[in-house]
Amino acid sequence: MPRDEIDGGRTEHLPGGAEAKGGLSRRSFLQIAAGATGAAMATKATVARAGNGWSMGLEGVPREKLLWMYETMLKSRWWEEEMKEAFLAGKDGLYGAFHISIGEEASAVGVMAALREDDYIASNHRGHAHLVAKGGDIDKMSGELFFRSNGYNLGFGGSMHITDVSKGILGMNGIIGPQYLFAAGAGYSAKVRGTDQVAVAFGGDGSVNNGWYYSGLRNAALYKLPMIAVIENNGYQISMPQARTNNLVNLSQLGAGMDIPHETVNGMDVLAVYAVTQRAVARARRGDGPTLIEAKNYRYYDHSGLAGAKPGVFGAFGLPYRSDSENRAWMAEDPIPKLRRQLVANAILTDEEATQIEDAVRARVLQSLDTARNAARVAHDAALSHVFADTKVPASQFAV
């Protein structure tokens, strides 16, 4: 079927989401977004956009939290960027699935900024930023991707099976969708135990198209579970544009049919994501049930692996299913320099202090890759270790 018959020719995923499609041209949206960063371009539209939460200021957010947001987005960005360089250089023998979340850090960090350490997250295949933001150990993450003994799974699992229950990280998942069930289950557990913990499920725009999504959310609504579903809508499911798999422009609307409070937020603005998530967390801790958040964002690299990526070049270009100009339009909205500009403009940080943070994060990331390089490799003949239990396991699920 020709594209036009499927989606009316609307195949580009552009910054600005529904608003851009609802009348604003792409050009005017980009101008507004630039103005909302605090530059001197403020217009009535800018103020209106800021007022509806699309681009947020940093008023009322504690300095310590703002610095954590900046440092954590950088840590995730540079960890993946250095890992990408290592994959491309080919010297460390890296292989296997590697889903880069570069470009999507603001949704991970904005959500996590509103959570407590004892809250839960259930992540997906594109989960590195979620792990870093929830306190995952980048030494163990590097070790896992390098298949070394210091990895989270002793080097047996690779990227997509990293779990750290001590940090409330219920795991990345290679299967699309079950994270909604894991989070609903964790929310149910918190409710039964009488704690006020919250559980967050992260999924892409593709994850809403299967039954696990519906089952998890429906039960969360029914039992008023302290759950938050975060759909990171980066516009593509592998190479399939979101507009071809769902007739909704805003996937948050999916919450309406289950009477779940729902909001679409600018996933390129860490402060906007933080503000929306704070509301959802307050609702969940009060016992008022789940919230569905759609964060519109973009991945600057390919779905998995490094097609279109080059050493020393930021972003992947020349991919057959999307335009380079689309990628560049989103990169112009990059949340990390945007937050830096806001921090400096509001005298939260001087330029020198920001540089010091950047130097420290880069050194920490490089150190984690070196630690992995120096750790022992997984022995191939140990492939079946940790597969079978060492002791007898009771046959009944009701065993005491």
Ligand X SMILES: Cc1ncc(C[n+]2csc(CCOP(=O)(O)OP(=O)(O)O)c2C)c(N)n1
Provide the minimum distance between the beta carbon of 256 and ligand X in the complex, in angstroms, as a whole number: 20
Provide the minimum distance between the beta carbon of 204 and ligand X in the complex, in angstroms, as a whole number: 2
Please report where in the chains the tokens 């590195």 appear, as a residue.
Answer: 128
Question: Does residue 205 touch ligand X according to CB under 6 A?
Answer: yes
Question: Does residue 107 touch ligand X according to CB under 6 A?
Answer: no
The residue of the chain with the least Cβ separation from ligand X equals: 204
Stretch in the footprint of ligand X (CB under 6 A) among 139-147, 200-208, 268-276, 351-359: 200-208
Question: Does residue 175 touch ligand X according to CB under 6 A?
Answer: yes
DSSP 305-341: S-TT--TT-SS----TTS-HHHHHHHHTT-HHHHHHH
Strands 227-233 and 199-204: parallel
User: Which residue of 49, 84, 126, 283 would you call a contact of ligand X, by CB under 6 A?
Assistant: 126
CB 232 within 8 A of CB 295: yes
Tokens of 209: 């198209």
Tokens of 123: 């992540």
Going residue by residue from 234 to 263, which x/- string records binding to ligand X, judged by CB under 6 A? Answer: x-xxx-------------------------
DSSP 91: S
- Binding positions for ligand X, 295-334, rule CB under 6 A: 303
CA distance readout (Å), 305 to 46, 96, 167, 309: 38, 8, 27, 9
Stretch in the footprint of ligand X (CB under 6 A) among 231-239, 305-313, 344-352, 369-377: 231-239
Question: Does residue 283 touch ligand X according to CB under 6 A?
Answer: no
Angstrom distance (rounded) from CA 336 to CA 349: 14
DSSP 194-250: T----EEEEEEGGGGGSHHHHHHHHHHHHTT-SEEEEEEE-SEETTEEGGGT-S-SS
Angstrom distance (rounded) from CA 61 to CA 46: 21
Going residue by residue from 61 to 100, which x/- string records binding to ligand X, judged by CB under 6 A? Answer: ----------------------------------------
Residue closer to ligand X, measured from CB, 203 or 335: 203
Stretch in the footprint of ligand X (CB under 6 A) among 12-20, 129-137, 199-207, 330-338: 199-207
Residue closer to ligand X, measured from CB, 51 or 96: 96
Angstrom distance (rounded) from CA 288 to CA 275: 18
Q: Which residues bind ligand X (CB under 6 A)?
A: 125-126, 174-177, 203-207, 234, 236-238, 303
